[in-house]
């Protein structure tokens, strides 16, 4: 997986006085399912829109599938090769499902009728229905169908399950998983549903205040991020060394959350001579809270 | 083959799957030469990235719990002696944190070393059946 499908260098985007994206660096390896995690307003949607050439950046370098979205012509190439589903996607609501399918199909050479029919069946969609008559879940399923049926090299999902109920969300994720099965496909997936990101992704990046705080294979992140609880004879000491994500000293107790956990980190805490020292695994949600919220 | 994935656990998902397959083999729920659910199928059932399942299977194969037959699928290797590619020290180390938990819980529940020994003996007996 040497190749990157998306590379972003020092990206900046300003809305008025606000830095929406503030020096973002990001690489998405080919074939990965990249979970892009961040709180509301962290800059996820802005970043995605810049990737697709739907917004222009203030500065920075962006490359998607070998094209630069700043250039209008190249942005078209990106959109031709990228399936995109966003939370509040707008489609032509007066069309019937059948009509929007043939309409969308006309834009793509790679459209696969069989695949489209499969999705219709799997989602139990009646193609004679108008989009305006659909529930939110069905609406999102149509959007996914349109994004997948032309077999894009890259699938970009911006909070795709935000408005879906538990059952539809399940079907939706299943479709995403079946899509991943096809080799070489890359999925870039923004969400704050941390559970589903964890299931489906193999890479995660955490964005906060327009900057990427960490980006790693999910298993590595989970193995190397640990919570260390140490209790001292008297007041817990102040510790400060590289690798601390956040810490909290309370009376005799010191809790630190560290990245790159290993003997080296342990020895730094042991040096303070704690009476006891325990190391705990962390789930992705806890890791997210530590990075994005600075909380123990 | 019923596998449960718990994203709230601190354990990476591939390890959760690995541990459960190992457990099923140890408990005889999966028998030698029986096929396990394919990567594709299990990925869909669990809604988990297929690479994650493939990683779990790959490691289980390396450790001698599973074997692949080209074009036919993945099968249970039975209780394999390939596990001894890990030195005894390493194997003890990998189980030590569990032993730790047991000891702590036993201490707080006021159970003796003998109680735990007896319990473990029973569990072993079950597996040997």
ipTM score for this prediction: 0.75
Both tokens of B1, joined, read: 């083959």
Residue in chain B closest to A176 (alpha carbons) equals: B47
Could you tell me if A75 and A149 are in contact, meaning their C-beta atoms sit under 8 angstroms apart? no
- CB contact (8 A) between residue A219 and residue B44: no
Residue A281 is nearest to which of B11, B50, B55, comparing CB atoms?
B11
Does residue A146 belong to the interface with chain B, where contact is any CB pair within 8 Å?
no
- CB contact (8 A) between residue B10 and residue A283: yes
- CB contact (8 A) between residue B13 and residue A223: no
Q: What is the pTM of this model?
A: 0.83
**Cβ neighbours of residue A14 closer than 8 Å, sequence gap 6 or more:** A20, A58
Chain A residues whose beta carbon lies within 8 Å of the beta carbon of residue B8: 195, 283, 285
The candidate with the shortest Cα–Cα distance to A196, out of B41, B5, B107, B78, is B5
**Cβ neighbours of residue A49 closer than 8 Å, sequence gap 6 or more:** A55
Question: How far is A288 from chain B, CA to nearest CA, in Å?
Answer: 12
DSSP state, residue B83: G
Both tokens of A238, joined, read: 């102040």
C-alpha–C-alpha distance, residues A192 and A289, integer Å: 11
Question: How far is A281 from chain B, CA to nearest CA, in Å?
Answer: 5
Residue A229 backbone zone (phi > 0: left; psi -120 to 50: alpha; other: beta): beta
Strand order in the sheet with A226-231: A244-250, A253-258, A226-231, A276-280
C-alpha–C-alpha distance, residues A13 and A146, integer Å: 29
Does residue A1 belong to the interface with chain B, where contact is any CB pair within 8 Å?
no
| Tens-binned pLDDT, residue by residue, of chain A (296 aa) | 469 999 999 999 999 888 999 999 999 999 899 999 999 889 999 999 999 999 999 999 999 999 999 999 999 999 999 999 987 778 899 999 999 999 999 999 999 999 899 889 988 899 999 999 998 888 888 998 999 899 899 999 998 887 778 887 887 888 788 777 776 789 999 987 888 888 889 999 999 999 999 999 999 999 999 999 999 999 999 899 889 999 999 999 999 999 999 999 999 999 999 999 999 999 999 999 999 988 88
**Cβ neighbours of residue B25 closer than 8 Å, sequence gap 6 or more:** B65, B76, B78, B79
C-alpha–C-alpha distance, residues A180 and A204, integer Å: 16
């Amino acid at each position: 997986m040497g190749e990157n499908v998306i590379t972003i260098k020092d990206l900046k985007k300003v809305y008025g006085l606000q830095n929406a994206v503030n020096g973002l660096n990001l690489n998405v390896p080919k074939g990965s399912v990249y979970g892009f995690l961040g709180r509301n307003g962290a800059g996820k949607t802005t970043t995605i829109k810049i990737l697709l050439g739907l917004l222009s950046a203030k500065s920075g370098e962006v490359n998607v599938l070998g094209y630069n979205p700043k250039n209008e012509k190249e942005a078209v190439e990106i959109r031709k090769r990228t399936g995109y589903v966003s939370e509040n996607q707008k489609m032509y609501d007066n069309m019937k499902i059948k009509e929007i399918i043939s309409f969308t199909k006309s834009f793509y050479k790679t459209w696969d009728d069989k695949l489209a029919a499969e999705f219709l069946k799997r989602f139990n969609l009646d193609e004679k229905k108008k989009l305006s008559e659909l529930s939110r879940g069905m609406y999102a399923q149509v959007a996914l169908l349109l994004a997948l049926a032309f077999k894009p090299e890259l699938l970009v999902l911006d909070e795709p399950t935000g408005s879906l109920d538990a059952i539809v969300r399940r079907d939706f994720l299943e479709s995403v998983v079946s899509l991943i099965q096809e080799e070489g496909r890359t999925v870039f997936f923004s969400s704050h549903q941390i559970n589903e990101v964890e299931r489906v992704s193999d890479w995660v990046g955490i964005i906060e205040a327009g900057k990427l705080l960490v980006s790693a294979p999910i298993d590595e992140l989970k193995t190397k991020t640990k919570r260390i609880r140490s209790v001292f004879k008297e007041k817990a000491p102040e510790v400060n060394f590289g690798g601390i994500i956040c810490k909290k000293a309370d009376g005799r107790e010191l809790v630190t959350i560290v990245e790159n956990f290993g003997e080296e980190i342990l020895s730094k805490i042991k040096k303070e001579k704690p009476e006891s020292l325990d190391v705990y695994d962390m789930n992705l949600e806890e890791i997210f809270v530590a990075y994005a919220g600075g909380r123990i | 083959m019923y596998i449960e994935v718990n994203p709230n656990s601190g354990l990476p998902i591939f390890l959760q799957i690995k541990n459960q397959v190992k457990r099923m083999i140890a408990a005889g729920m999966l028998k030698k030469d029986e096929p396990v659910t394919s990567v594709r199928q299990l990925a869909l059932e669990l809604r988990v990235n297929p690479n994650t399942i493939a990683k779990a299977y790959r490691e289980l194969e390396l450790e001698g719990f599973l074997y692949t037959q080209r074009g036919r699928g993945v099968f249970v290797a039975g209780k394999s002696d390939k596990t001894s590619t890990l030195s005894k020290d390493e194997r003890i180390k990998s189980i030590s944190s569990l032993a730790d938990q047991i000891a702590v819980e036993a201490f707080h529940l006021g159970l003796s070393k003998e109680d735990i020994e007896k319990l473990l003996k029973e569990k072993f007996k079950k597996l040997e059946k």
